Amino acid sequence: MTERSYVEVKDLRRVFDVSKPWLNRVLEGGEKQYLKAVDGVSFSIAKGETFALVGESGSGKSTVARMVVGLLPPTDGEVVIDGVSMSSKAAFAERQRLRRRIQMIFQDPYASLNPRWQVDRIVAEPIRAFRLIEGEKEITARVGELLSLVGLHPADGKKYPHEFSGGQRQRIAIARALASNAEFIVCDEPTSALDVSVQAQILNLMRDLQDRLGLTYLFISHNLAVVRHMASRIGVMYLGRIVEISNGRELFAQPKHPYTRMLLDAVPDVGMTGRQRIPVRGEIPNPINPPTGCTFNPRCPFANERCRAEIPPLLQGVACHAVHEGRLAIGAAA
């Protein structure tokens, strides 16, 4: 962990019981089944920084996001934000004060907004819930300020979500997140449901707000182009574990883990560099019955017997036996 980290995630784990009902197991002779969605994830985020988690669908990114904001309790591990534990180890009053400073922006801006409420009521809800401002006139003025801050007009507060485009809805969701004076915002695929041109507008808005308000972001995405634009540090997740963690520039210039290289090779070569690429191999395994050892070994061209038997530790920012043993040069094309 870095010194004076604003957010610290320590050995976070989440296991789901996906067993059939008890009677079915008795009649069919089945056993209980468990899914390890997150298995020992650790990282830190400095104040004012953007840390991104990337990986294919099913890698556990969104589960981590929900545990960090407290929507989902971890099976094991701990999340500490500004020195306060999100678990029951901290006093209830401390955790309640902390929750006001944490918000989340979801993937689908329409599904995350109440279609029966006008926008001014949606944005004002955190203000009323946390009793930040007293008086309807003052609340209305604050809502107008927030809408202006995200590029909308205060008069838009009288409209309903269905009257806006997807990008405008996401601006409303950002305004709602800022309404509680949030300092730490978890962004779960906030632009994946938007057109490319609109994505750029929302990302630029988020960066401007970060610079202006000193916001700290945990950014969840599968889009490496988006992550490259937003994040100062990146963690690459595969089947519930972080396999590589590095600053953004270094990760794109010198990827270490074979999985990171595979993800980068899947990005279209717009510059037409002619660099040899390895096509994406296979699919992410069933998390209920994952491979032994390194879970990436069935798809990895560098896997050996040790990879199939031992889980590689995260050393110097990469969890890969081939890199640790010197069989795979850092930064070489896969």
Beta-carbon contacts of 59 under 8 Å, excluding residues fewer than 6 positions away, are 237, 238, 239, 240, 284
Domain residue ranges in the chain: 7-101+183-250
Contact 175, 144 (CB under 8 A): no
Asked if the model's pLDDT at residue 270 lies above 60, the reply is: no
Structure tokens given for 203: 């990302």
d(CA 89, CA 187): 26
SS3 label, residue 255: coil
* pLDDT, tens only, 30-84: 889 999 999 999 999 999 999 999 998 889 999 999 999 989 999 999 999 998 8
The residue among 314 and 333 whose pLDDT is bigger is 314
pLDDT score, position 87? 76
The CATH architecture assigned to 7-101+183-250 reads 3-Layer(aba) Sandwich (3.40)
Asked if the model's pLDDT at residue 313 lies above 80, the reply is: yes
Contact 185, 103 (CB under 8 A): yes
Structure tokens given for 117: 């409420």
The band of 333, judged by pLDDT with boundaries at 50, 70 and 90, is very low
pLDDT score, position 271? 54
Structure tokens given for 93: 């009053």
* pLDDT, tens only, 250-263: 999 899 999 999 88
pLDDT > 90 in the chain, percent: 66
Average pLDDT, rounded, for the chain:
89
* pLDDT, tens only, 198-248: 999 999 999 999 999 999 999 999 888 889 889 999 999 999 999 999 999
